[in-house]
Structure 1
Amino acid sequence: MALKTASSVIVYGGCGALGSTVVRLFKQNMWEVISIDLSPNTDADSSIAIPSTLQNLTDQSAYVSREVASLLGDSKVDAVLCVAGGWQGGNAASDDFIKSADISIKQSVNTSLIAARIAARYLRQGGLLSLAGALPALHGTPGMVGYGLAKAAVHHMVGSLAMPDSGIDGRVVGILPVVLDTAENRSAMPAADFSSWTPLSEVAELLFKWSAGQADCQTGKLYSIITEKSATKTEQVS
Protein backbone atom coordinates (compact mmCIF):
# COMPACT_ATOMS: atom_id res chain seq x y z
CA MET A 1 0.00 0.00 0.00
CA ALA A 2 1.42 3.36 -0.98
CA LEU A 3 0.50 5.69 1.86
CA LYS A 4 -1.66 8.52 0.54
CA THR A 5 -1.57 10.83 3.54
CA ALA A 6 1.11 12.32 5.74
CA SER A 7 -0.03 10.42 8.84
CA SER A 8 -0.75 6.72 9.27
CA VAL A 9 -1.67 4.28 12.04
CA ILE A 10 -2.03 0.55 12.61
CA VAL A 11 -4.88 -0.38 14.96
CA TYR A 12 -4.55 -3.89 16.38
CA GLY A 13 -8.03 -4.96 17.48
CA GLY A 14 -9.65 -2.61 14.98
CA CYS A 15 -13.00 -4.43 14.94
CA GLY A 16 -13.69 -4.35 18.68
CA ALA A 17 -15.84 -1.72 20.33
CA LEU A 18 -12.86 0.46 21.23
CA GLY A 19 -10.90 -0.40 18.10
CA SER A 20 -13.78 0.57 15.80
CA THR A 21 -14.09 3.90 17.60
CA VAL A 22 -10.36 4.51 17.23
CA VAL A 23 -10.42 3.66 13.52
CA ARG A 24 -13.32 6.05 12.86
CA LEU A 25 -11.70 8.93 14.74
CA PHE A 26 -8.40 8.63 12.91
CA LYS A 27 -10.21 8.39 9.57
CA GLN A 28 -12.20 11.52 10.42
CA ASN A 29 -8.87 13.27 10.89
CA MET A 30 -7.64 12.09 7.48
CA TRP A 31 -5.15 9.50 8.70
CA GLU A 32 -4.36 6.37 6.72
CA VAL A 33 -5.59 3.44 8.84
CA ILE A 34 -4.72 -0.26 8.79
CA SER A 35 -6.93 -2.47 10.97
CA ILE A 36 -5.80 -5.86 12.28
CA ASP A 37 -8.36 -8.20 13.82
CA LEU A 38 -10.19 -11.46 13.28
CA SER A 39 -12.55 -9.70 10.85
CA PRO A 40 -12.09 -6.81 8.41
CA ASN A 41 -13.07 -3.26 9.32
CA THR A 42 -14.61 -1.58 6.29
CA ASP A 43 -14.00 1.89 7.75
CA ALA A 44 -10.24 1.36 7.56
CA ASP A 45 -8.19 1.96 4.41
CA SER A 46 -6.86 -1.61 4.67
CA SER A 47 -7.73 -4.57 6.87
CA ILE A 48 -5.81 -7.65 7.90
CA ALA A 49 -8.20 -10.40 9.00
CA ILE A 50 -6.40 -13.16 10.89
CA PRO A 51 -7.79 -16.58 9.90
CA SER A 52 -9.46 -18.46 12.75
CA THR A 53 -7.34 -21.50 11.88
CA LEU A 54 -4.23 -19.72 13.16
CA GLN A 55 -4.49 -20.36 16.88
CA ASN A 56 -0.91 -20.10 18.15
CA LEU A 57 1.22 -17.02 18.61
CA THR A 58 3.95 -17.99 16.16
CA ASP A 59 1.57 -18.62 13.27
CA GLN A 60 -0.48 -15.50 13.95
CA SER A 61 2.63 -13.33 14.11
CA ALA A 62 4.02 -14.76 10.89
CA TYR A 63 0.73 -14.17 9.09
CA VAL A 64 0.31 -10.61 10.35
CA SER A 65 3.93 -9.77 9.55
CA ARG A 66 3.55 -10.99 5.97
CA GLU A 67 0.33 -9.05 5.48
CA VAL A 68 1.73 -5.82 6.93
CA ALA A 69 4.83 -6.19 4.76
CA SER A 70 2.69 -6.58 1.66
CA LEU A 71 0.73 -3.43 2.53
CA LEU A 72 3.57 -1.17 3.65
CA GLY A 73 6.70 -2.34 1.89
CA ASP A 74 9.36 0.10 3.07
CA SER A 75 6.85 2.67 4.41
CA LYS A 76 6.62 3.57 8.07
CA VAL A 77 3.66 4.49 10.27
CA ASP A 78 3.27 7.14 12.93
CA ALA A 79 1.54 4.95 15.49
CA VAL A 80 0.81 1.33 16.36
CA LEU A 81 -2.12 1.11 18.75
CA CYS A 82 -2.98 -2.24 20.31
CA VAL A 83 -6.50 -1.99 21.75
CA ALA A 84 -7.29 -5.70 21.58
CA GLY A 85 -8.46 -7.46 24.72
CA GLY A 86 -11.43 -8.69 26.67
CA TRP A 87 -12.45 -9.39 30.25
CA GLN A 88 -12.34 -12.88 31.76
CA GLY A 89 -13.26 -13.72 35.35
CA GLY A 90 -12.36 -16.69 37.51
CA ASN A 91 -10.31 -17.63 40.56
CA ALA A 92 -8.15 -20.73 40.95
CA ALA A 93 -11.14 -22.80 42.10
CA SER A 94 -13.26 -21.95 39.05
CA ASP A 95 -13.99 -24.77 36.65
CA ASP A 96 -12.89 -22.63 33.69
CA PHE A 97 -9.87 -21.09 35.45
CA ILE A 98 -7.25 -22.40 33.01
CA LYS A 99 -9.44 -21.75 29.98
CA SER A 100 -10.16 -18.14 30.98
CA ALA A 101 -6.47 -17.51 31.69
CA ASP A 102 -5.55 -18.90 28.28
CA ILE A 103 -8.09 -16.64 26.60
CA SER A 104 -6.81 -13.58 28.47
CA ILE A 105 -3.23 -14.31 27.47
CA LYS A 106 -4.24 -14.68 23.83
CA GLN A 107 -6.37 -11.52 23.90
CA SER A 108 -3.91 -9.24 25.67
CA VAL A 109 -0.38 -10.65 25.77
CA ASN A 110 -0.19 -12.25 22.33
CA THR A 111 -1.70 -9.25 20.58
CA SER A 112 0.68 -6.90 22.41
CA LEU A 113 3.66 -9.04 21.43
CA ILE A 114 2.68 -8.99 17.75
CA ALA A 115 2.00 -5.25 17.91
CA ALA A 116 5.47 -4.71 19.39
CA ARG A 117 7.00 -6.80 16.61
CA ILE A 118 5.21 -4.68 14.02
CA ALA A 119 6.33 -1.47 15.72
CA ALA A 120 9.95 -2.63 15.74
CA ARG A 121 9.84 -2.90 11.96
CA TYR A 122 7.40 -0.22 10.83
CA LEU A 123 7.15 2.53 13.47
CA ARG A 124 8.69 5.83 12.47
CA GLN A 125 11.40 7.24 14.73
CA GLY A 126 9.63 8.99 17.59
CA GLY A 127 6.30 7.35 16.76
CA LEU A 128 3.89 5.91 19.31
CA LEU A 129 3.32 2.32 20.40
CA SER A 130 0.39 2.05 22.82
CA LEU A 131 -0.61 -1.15 24.61
CA ALA A 132 -3.78 -1.82 26.60
CA GLY A 133 -3.36 -2.67 30.26
CA ALA A 134 -5.89 -2.33 33.07
CA LEU A 135 -5.87 -0.30 36.27
CA PRO A 136 -6.98 -3.18 38.56
CA ALA A 137 -3.96 -5.22 37.42
CA LEU A 138 -1.62 -2.88 39.28
CA HIS A 139 -2.62 -4.94 42.32
CA GLY A 140 -3.90 -8.43 43.03
CA THR A 141 -6.99 -9.62 41.16
CA PRO A 142 -8.21 -12.72 43.04
CA GLY A 143 -11.54 -12.92 41.24
CA MET A 144 -10.00 -12.62 37.78
CA VAL A 145 -6.55 -14.12 38.12
CA GLY A 146 -5.87 -14.87 34.45
CA TYR A 147 -7.06 -11.46 33.32
CA GLY A 148 -4.94 -9.66 35.92
CA LEU A 149 -1.91 -11.78 35.03
CA ALA A 150 -2.25 -10.95 31.33
CA LYS A 151 -2.68 -7.23 31.90
CA ALA A 152 0.23 -7.12 34.37
CA ALA A 153 2.37 -8.73 31.68
CA VAL A 154 1.35 -5.94 29.30
CA HIS A 155 2.39 -3.38 31.92
CA HIS A 156 5.79 -5.09 32.13
CA MET A 157 6.09 -4.99 28.34
CA VAL A 158 5.55 -1.22 28.31
CA GLY A 159 8.47 -0.65 30.68
CA SER A 160 10.73 -3.10 28.89
CA LEU A 161 9.99 -1.83 25.38
CA ALA A 162 10.74 1.75 26.41
CA MET A 163 14.26 0.83 27.51
CA PRO A 164 17.38 1.07 25.33
CA ASP A 165 18.05 -1.93 23.08
CA SER A 166 14.37 -3.00 23.15
CA GLY A 167 14.11 -2.76 19.37
CA ILE A 168 11.56 0.07 19.52
CA ASP A 169 12.71 3.50 18.35
CA GLY A 170 9.74 5.49 19.60
CA ARG A 171 7.50 6.21 22.55
CA VAL A 172 5.85 3.29 24.35
CA VAL A 173 2.92 3.83 26.71
CA GLY A 174 0.19 1.80 28.36
CA ILE A 175 -3.42 2.83 28.86
CA LEU A 176 -5.11 1.58 32.03
CA PRO A 177 -8.89 1.94 31.93
CA VAL A 178 -11.25 0.47 34.53
CA VAL A 179 -14.58 -0.19 32.78
CA LEU A 180 -15.28 0.96 29.23
CA ASP A 181 -18.80 2.04 28.32
CA THR A 182 -19.66 -0.52 25.66
CA ALA A 183 -22.95 -2.04 24.58
CA GLU A 184 -21.69 -5.44 25.70
CA ASN A 185 -20.85 -4.18 29.20
CA ARG A 186 -24.21 -2.42 29.53
CA SER A 187 -25.99 -5.62 28.56
CA ALA A 188 -23.98 -7.65 31.07
CA MET A 189 -24.32 -5.11 33.92
CA PRO A 190 -27.59 -3.20 33.35
CA ALA A 191 -27.81 -2.01 36.96
CA ALA A 192 -24.31 -0.52 37.08
CA ASP A 193 -23.48 3.16 37.48
CA PHE A 194 -22.71 4.12 33.89
CA SER A 195 -21.44 7.54 34.99
CA SER A 196 -18.32 5.75 36.29
CA TRP A 197 -17.65 4.04 32.95
CA THR A 198 -15.30 5.60 30.44
CA PRO A 199 -16.78 6.49 27.02
CA LEU A 200 -14.93 4.91 24.10
CA SER A 201 -14.61 8.34 22.49
CA GLU A 202 -12.53 9.58 25.44
CA VAL A 203 -9.97 6.81 24.99
CA ALA A 204 -9.89 7.23 21.22
CA GLU A 205 -9.36 10.98 21.56
CA LEU A 206 -6.50 10.44 24.00
CA LEU A 207 -4.77 8.02 21.64
CA PHE A 208 -5.25 10.39 18.73
CA LYS A 209 -3.80 13.36 20.60
CA TRP A 210 -0.77 11.34 21.67
CA SER A 211 -0.26 9.99 18.15
CA ALA A 212 -0.63 13.40 16.54
CA GLY A 213 1.63 15.16 19.05
CA GLN A 214 -1.26 17.25 20.38
CA ALA A 215 -0.71 16.00 23.94
CA ASP A 216 2.40 14.82 25.75
CA CYS A 217 3.04 11.32 27.02
CA GLN A 218 6.20 9.94 28.56
CA THR A 219 7.67 6.77 27.17
CA GLY A 220 7.66 3.76 29.45
CA LYS A 221 4.79 5.08 31.54
CA LEU A 222 1.33 3.75 32.35
CA TYR A 223 -1.66 6.08 32.29
CA SER A 224 -4.84 5.47 34.25
CA ILE A 225 -8.11 6.45 32.62
CA ILE A 226 -10.73 7.01 35.32
CA THR A 227 -14.29 8.29 34.95
CA GLU A 228 -16.28 9.63 37.88
CA LYS A 229 -19.69 11.30 37.54
CA SER A 230 -19.27 11.27 33.74
CA ALA A 231 -15.99 13.20 33.94
CA THR A 232 -12.89 11.40 32.66
CA LYS A 233 -9.32 12.13 33.72
CA THR A 234 -5.98 10.63 32.69
CA GLU A 235 -3.08 10.40 35.10
CA GLN A 236 0.41 8.92 34.95
CA VAL A 237 0.63 6.09 37.47
CA SER A 238 4.23 4.93 36.94
Structure 2
Amino acid sequence: MTDSVEAVVFDIDGTICEYERTTADLLPLAFERAGVDPFFSTSEYVSRYETFLDSSDGVDDHRERCFVDIAREKGRDPDLAREVAAAYAAERDHSRVRFLDGAQELLETLAGTYPLAAVTNGDPEMQSQKLASLGVDCFETVVHAGYDAPAKPSPEPFELALSAIETPPERAMYVGNSLQADIAGARNVGMHAAWIANGETNDPEPVPDYELDSPGALLDALA
Protein backbone atom coordinates (compact mmCIF):
# COMPACT_ATOMS: atom_id res chain seq x y z
CA MET A 1 0.00 0.00 0.00
CA THR A 2 1.23 3.48 -0.88
CA ASP A 3 2.79 5.31 2.06
CA SER A 4 0.21 8.11 1.89
CA VAL A 5 -2.73 5.76 2.62
CA GLU A 6 -3.27 4.27 6.07
CA ALA A 7 -6.88 3.01 5.78
CA VAL A 8 -9.29 1.86 3.08
CA VAL A 9 -13.05 2.47 2.95
CA PHE A 10 -15.28 0.51 0.56
CA ASP A 11 -18.60 0.81 -1.15
CA ILE A 12 -20.48 -2.53 -1.14
CA ASP A 13 -22.83 -2.98 -4.12
CA GLY A 14 -21.02 -3.14 -7.45
CA THR A 15 -17.69 -2.78 -5.68
CA ILE A 16 -17.18 -5.92 -3.62
CA CYS A 17 -20.30 -7.88 -4.53
CA GLU A 18 -23.31 -8.22 -6.80
CA TYR A 19 -26.62 -10.06 -6.71
CA GLU A 20 -26.79 -13.48 -8.34
CA ARG A 21 -30.04 -12.24 -9.91
CA THR A 22 -29.93 -8.68 -11.23
CA THR A 23 -32.69 -6.08 -11.17
CA ALA A 24 -33.22 -6.80 -14.86
CA ASP A 25 -33.75 -10.46 -13.96
CA LEU A 26 -36.21 -9.78 -11.14
CA LEU A 27 -38.41 -7.02 -12.52
CA PRO A 28 -40.13 -9.20 -15.17
CA LEU A 29 -40.67 -11.87 -12.51
CA ALA A 30 -42.27 -9.28 -10.22
CA PHE A 31 -44.71 -8.14 -12.92
CA GLU A 32 -45.57 -11.76 -13.67
CA ARG A 33 -46.00 -12.66 -9.99
CA ALA A 34 -48.26 -9.63 -9.45
CA GLY A 35 -50.28 -10.38 -12.60
CA VAL A 36 -49.57 -6.90 -13.96
CA ASP A 37 -48.52 -6.12 -17.53
CA PRO A 38 -45.04 -4.50 -17.48
CA PHE A 39 -45.32 -0.73 -17.66
CA PHE A 40 -41.79 0.44 -16.84
CA SER A 41 -38.21 -0.67 -17.44
CA THR A 42 -35.25 -1.41 -15.22
CA SER A 43 -33.56 1.84 -16.29
CA GLU A 44 -36.64 3.86 -15.29
CA TYR A 45 -36.52 2.29 -11.83
CA VAL A 46 -32.77 2.77 -11.38
CA SER A 47 -32.99 6.41 -12.50
CA ARG A 48 -35.20 7.18 -9.47
CA TYR A 49 -33.04 5.40 -6.92
CA GLU A 50 -31.25 8.47 -5.55
CA THR A 51 -34.43 10.57 -5.51
CA PHE A 52 -36.06 8.63 -2.68
CA LEU A 53 -33.05 7.35 -0.80
CA ASP A 54 -33.04 9.92 2.03
CA SER A 55 -36.83 9.81 2.52
CA SER A 56 -37.32 6.04 2.66
CA ASP A 57 -37.67 3.87 5.77
CA GLY A 58 -36.00 0.83 4.25
CA VAL A 59 -35.27 -0.97 1.01
CA ASP A 60 -38.84 -2.20 0.47
CA ASP A 61 -40.31 1.23 1.20
CA HIS A 62 -37.73 2.81 -1.10
CA ARG A 63 -38.58 0.45 -3.96
CA GLU A 64 -42.31 1.04 -3.52
CA ARG A 65 -41.81 4.81 -3.62
CA CYS A 66 -39.88 4.47 -6.89
CA PHE A 67 -42.52 2.21 -8.47
CA VAL A 68 -45.41 4.43 -7.36
CA ASP A 69 -43.69 7.53 -8.71
CA ILE A 70 -43.28 5.86 -12.10
CA ALA A 71 -46.91 4.76 -12.09
CA ARG A 72 -48.16 8.28 -11.37
CA GLU A 73 -45.92 9.70 -14.09
CA LYS A 74 -47.38 7.23 -16.59
CA GLY A 75 -50.97 7.69 -15.46
CA ARG A 76 -51.20 4.19 -14.00
CA ASP A 77 -52.87 3.08 -10.77
CA PRO A 78 -50.38 3.49 -7.87
CA ASP A 79 -51.89 0.39 -6.21
CA LEU A 80 -50.68 -1.70 -9.17
CA ALA A 81 -47.18 -0.35 -8.55
CA ARG A 82 -47.46 -1.33 -4.89
CA GLU A 83 -48.45 -4.87 -5.90
CA VAL A 84 -45.42 -5.11 -8.20
CA ALA A 85 -43.16 -3.78 -5.43
CA ALA A 86 -44.48 -6.41 -3.00
CA ALA A 87 -43.92 -9.13 -5.60
CA TYR A 88 -40.38 -7.89 -6.23
CA ALA A 89 -39.64 -7.96 -2.49
CA ALA A 90 -40.89 -11.54 -2.32
CA GLU A 91 -38.54 -12.55 -5.15
CA ARG A 92 -35.45 -10.73 -3.83
CA ASP A 93 -33.14 -12.70 -1.54
CA HIS A 94 -30.40 -10.47 -0.12
CA SER A 95 -28.29 -13.46 0.82
CA ARG A 96 -27.92 -14.51 -2.82
CA VAL A 97 -24.85 -12.44 -3.61
CA ARG A 98 -21.36 -13.19 -4.92
CA PHE A 99 -17.98 -11.49 -4.76
CA LEU A 100 -16.85 -9.45 -7.73
CA ASP A 101 -13.57 -10.47 -9.37
CA GLY A 102 -10.75 -10.31 -6.84
CA ALA A 103 -12.79 -8.65 -4.09
CA GLN A 104 -12.48 -11.49 -1.59
CA GLU A 105 -8.71 -11.70 -2.02
CA LEU A 106 -8.46 -7.91 -1.77
CA LEU A 107 -10.32 -7.79 1.57
CA GLU A 108 -8.41 -10.74 2.98
CA THR A 109 -5.07 -9.18 1.97
CA LEU A 110 -5.82 -5.77 3.46
CA ALA A 111 -7.55 -7.01 6.62
CA GLY A 112 -5.32 -6.98 9.67
CA THR A 113 -2.89 -4.61 7.99
CA TYR A 114 -5.09 -1.57 7.39
CA PRO A 115 -8.23 -0.34 9.12
CA LEU A 116 -11.16 -1.15 6.83
CA ALA A 117 -14.63 0.37 6.76
CA ALA A 118 -17.60 0.60 4.43
CA VAL A 119 -19.91 3.43 3.35
CA THR A 120 -22.97 2.22 1.47
CA ASN A 121 -26.21 3.75 0.25
CA GLY A 122 -27.95 0.46 1.11
CA ASP A 123 -30.50 -0.36 3.78
CA PRO A 124 -28.88 -1.65 7.02
CA GLU A 125 -30.78 -4.95 7.20
CA MET A 126 -30.23 -5.64 3.50
CA GLN A 127 -26.51 -4.92 3.60
CA SER A 128 -26.02 -6.94 6.78
CA GLN A 129 -27.51 -9.98 5.04
CA LYS A 130 -25.15 -9.56 2.10
CA LEU A 131 -22.03 -9.24 4.23
CA ALA A 132 -23.05 -12.18 6.42
CA SER A 133 -23.68 -14.35 3.36
CA LEU A 134 -20.25 -13.48 1.98
CA GLY A 135 -18.57 -14.01 5.35
CA VAL A 136 -17.22 -10.45 5.37
CA ASP A 137 -16.44 -9.35 8.93
CA CYS A 138 -13.35 -7.20 8.37
CA PHE A 139 -15.06 -3.78 8.46
CA GLU A 140 -14.55 -1.87 11.69
CA THR A 141 -17.67 0.12 10.88
CA VAL A 142 -20.36 0.15 8.18
CA VAL A 143 -22.05 3.51 7.61
CA HIS A 144 -25.43 3.23 5.88
CA ALA A 145 -25.74 6.51 4.02
CA GLY A 146 -29.34 7.55 3.60
CA TYR A 147 -30.07 5.98 7.01
CA ASP A 148 -27.24 6.81 9.47
CA ALA A 149 -26.46 10.01 7.55
CA PRO A 150 -27.45 11.70 4.28
CA ALA A 151 -26.87 9.64 1.14
CA LYS A 152 -23.61 9.74 -0.76
CA PRO A 153 -22.10 11.96 -2.14
CA SER A 154 -22.79 13.98 1.01
CA PRO A 155 -19.56 14.23 3.03
CA GLU A 156 -21.25 13.16 6.28
CA PRO A 157 -21.22 9.35 5.84
CA PHE A 158 -17.56 9.45 4.79
CA GLU A 159 -16.71 11.60 7.81
CA LEU A 160 -18.51 9.15 10.12
CA ALA A 161 -16.48 6.24 8.75
CA LEU A 162 -13.20 8.13 9.00
CA SER A 163 -13.97 9.13 12.57
CA ALA A 164 -14.69 5.51 13.51
CA ILE A 165 -11.35 4.31 12.13
CA GLU A 166 -9.54 7.41 13.41
CA THR A 167 -8.00 8.30 10.07
CA PRO A 168 -7.78 11.76 8.44
CA PRO A 169 -9.24 11.90 4.92
CA GLU A 170 -5.92 12.62 3.23
CA ARG A 171 -4.59 9.32 4.62
CA ALA A 172 -7.54 7.20 3.46
CA MET A 173 -8.59 5.58 0.19
CA TYR A 174 -12.22 5.16 -0.87
CA VAL A 175 -13.07 2.39 -3.34
CA GLY A 176 -16.37 2.53 -5.24
CA ASN A 177 -18.07 1.98 -8.58
CA SER A 178 -20.19 5.14 -8.85
CA LEU A 179 -18.54 8.33 -10.07
CA GLN A 180 -21.42 10.50 -8.82
CA ALA A 181 -21.91 8.89 -5.39
CA ASP A 182 -18.54 7.32 -4.54
CA ILE A 183 -15.78 9.24 -6.28
CA ALA A 184 -17.48 12.62 -5.90
CA GLY A 185 -18.23 11.86 -2.24
CA ALA A 186 -14.64 10.85 -1.54
CA ARG A 187 -13.41 14.00 -3.23
CA ASN A 188 -15.82 16.09 -1.14
CA VAL A 189 -13.91 15.11 2.01
CA GLY A 190 -10.40 14.99 0.54
CA MET A 191 -9.93 11.21 0.35
CA HIS A 192 -7.96 9.33 -2.28
CA ALA A 193 -10.35 7.61 -4.68
CA ALA A 194 -10.27 4.36 -6.66
CA TRP A 195 -13.01 3.79 -9.23
CA ILE A 196 -14.14 0.29 -10.18
CA ALA A 197 -15.13 0.98 -13.80
CA ASN A 198 -16.88 -2.37 -14.38
CA GLY A 199 -16.44 -2.07 -18.13
CA GLU A 200 -17.35 1.61 -18.49
CA THR A 201 -15.21 3.35 -21.10
CA ASN A 202 -16.21 7.01 -20.85
CA ASP A 203 -13.73 9.53 -19.46
CA PRO A 204 -14.51 9.61 -15.73
CA GLU A 205 -15.67 12.81 -14.07
CA PRO A 206 -14.68 13.48 -11.36
CA VAL A 207 -11.31 11.94 -12.08
CA PRO A 208 -10.27 9.19 -9.62
CA ASP A 209 -6.72 8.51 -8.51
CA TYR A 210 -7.07 4.96 -9.81
CA GLU A 211 -9.32 3.54 -12.54
CA LEU A 212 -9.67 -0.23 -12.20
CA ASP A 213 -11.36 -2.98 -14.20
CA SER A 214 -12.07 -5.01 -11.06
CA PRO A 215 -11.63 -4.77 -7.27
CA GLY A 216 -8.70 -7.20 -7.38
CA ALA A 217 -6.73 -4.80 -9.58
CA LEU A 218 -6.34 -2.47 -6.60
CA LEU A 219 -3.67 -4.76 -5.16
CA ASP A 220 -1.47 -4.27 -8.23
CA ALA A 221 -2.22 -0.55 -8.50
CA LEU A 222 -1.16 0.13 -4.92
CA ALA A 223 1.66 -2.41 -4.64
TM-score (norm 1): 0.30
| Structure (1 or 2) with the greater strand fraction | 1
Which structure has the bigger radius of gyration? 2
